């Protein structure tokens, strides 16, 4: 996603694809309603017909109560479907625990071979992504069902990668979990999305999606 784009970032997970479709669906409804209201206001302004004896119209009042209810159903049902699908775990192959700290992230892989490391923002080279690059990238295989577990050691944090449709709070003393399926290899970036102190803006997230064979080799 470049600076000039006003749309959502490209989706690299089924969850983000569904969120993008839901955004388009909702915006089409909102634009239709706005267009209808503008048309009615325009006709009302330029309409010279006046009848001061009209006090009520039961038919119109009935319809403008029923129609918004129907429109809300068209918005609410897809929204609930996405919310439930985001919470569903489908036989995860790998579990990754992410701990939020002031002000860095730590990751733990403990399925079979245990691996732990801290991930700090990196300042070293001009070629690095400014305020985004980290010294130890989180790695995960693509086309593999993942389970992400989130917690915090101090204050509230929020682990967020927009292009994957993941945003989950890291709460001290509590474990939150989310499923994730990455569709393509690449680098995916995010940042803490919960104000957690003075260096809140300096605890980025960088996920590197690789082949399963390369991931196993990295774990060893």
The answer to whether residue 215 scores a pLDDT higher than 80 is yes
| Encoded tokens for 137 | 């990238």
User: Apex CA 213: angle with CA 209 and CA 216, to 5°?
Assistant: 85
| 186-211: pLDDT as tens digits | 899 999 999 988 989 899 999 999 99
Domains, the chain, in order of start with CATH, read 14-49+56-87 (1.10.287.90), 94-219 (2.60.40.420)
Which residues, at least 6 apart from 20, have a Cβ–Cβ distance to it below 8 Å? 8, 11
Q: Compute the Cα dihedral for 205, 211, 212, 217 and give only its sign.
A: negative
- pLDDT of 127 reads 65
> CA-CA distance, 201 to 216, in Å (whole number)?
32
SS (H, E, C) the chain: CCCCCCCCCCCCCHHHHHHHHHHHHHHHHHHHHHHHHHHHHHHHHHCCCCCCCCCCCHHHHHHHHHHHHHHHHHHHHHHHHHHHHHHCCCCCCEEEEEEEECCEEEEEECCCCCEEEEECECCCCCCCCCCCCECCCEEEECCCEEEEEEEECCCCEEEEEHHHCEEEEECECCCEEEEEECCCCEEEEEECCCCCCCCHHHCEEEEEEECHHHHHHHHC
CB 205 within 8 A of CB 138: yes
134-149 in b/e form (b: 16+ CB < 10 A) is beebbbbbbebebbbb
Q: What is the pTM of this model?
A: 0.79
| 15-45: pLDDT as tens digits | 899 998 999 999 999 999 999 999 988 888 8
Reported as a pLDDT band with limits 50, 70 and 90, residue 3 is low
More confident residue, 86 or 187: 187
| 116-150: pLDDT as tens digits | 999 999 876 666 677 888 988 999 999 888 999 99
């Amino acid at each position: 996603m470049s600076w000039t784009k006003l749309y959502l970032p490209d989706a690299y997970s089924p969850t983000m694809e569904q969120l993008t479709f839901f955004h388009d669906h909702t915006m089409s409804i909102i634009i239709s309603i706005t267009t209808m209201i503008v048309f009615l206001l325009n006709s009302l302004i330029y309409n010279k017909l006046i009848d001061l004896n009209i006090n009520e119209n039961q038919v119109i009042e009935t319809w403008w109560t029923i129609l918004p209810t129907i429109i809300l159903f068209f918005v609410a049902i897809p929204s609930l479907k996405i919310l439930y699908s985001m919470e569903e775990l489908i036989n995860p192959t790998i579990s990754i625990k992410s701990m939020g700290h002031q002000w860095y992230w730590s990751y733990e892989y403990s399925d079979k071979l245990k691996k732990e490391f801290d991930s700090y923002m990196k300042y070293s080279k001009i070629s690095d992504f400014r305020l985004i690059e980290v010294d130890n990238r989180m790695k995960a295989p693509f086309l593999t069902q993942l389970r992400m577990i989130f917690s915090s050691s101090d204050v509230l944090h929020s682990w967020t990668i927009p292009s994957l449709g993941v945003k989950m709070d890291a709460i001290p003393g509590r474990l939150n979990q989310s499923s994730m399926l990455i569709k393509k290899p690449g680098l995916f970036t995010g940042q803490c999305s919960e104000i957690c102190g003075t260096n809140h803006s300096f605890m980025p997230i960088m996920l590197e999606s690789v082949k399963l064979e390369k991931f196993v080799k990295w774990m060893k």
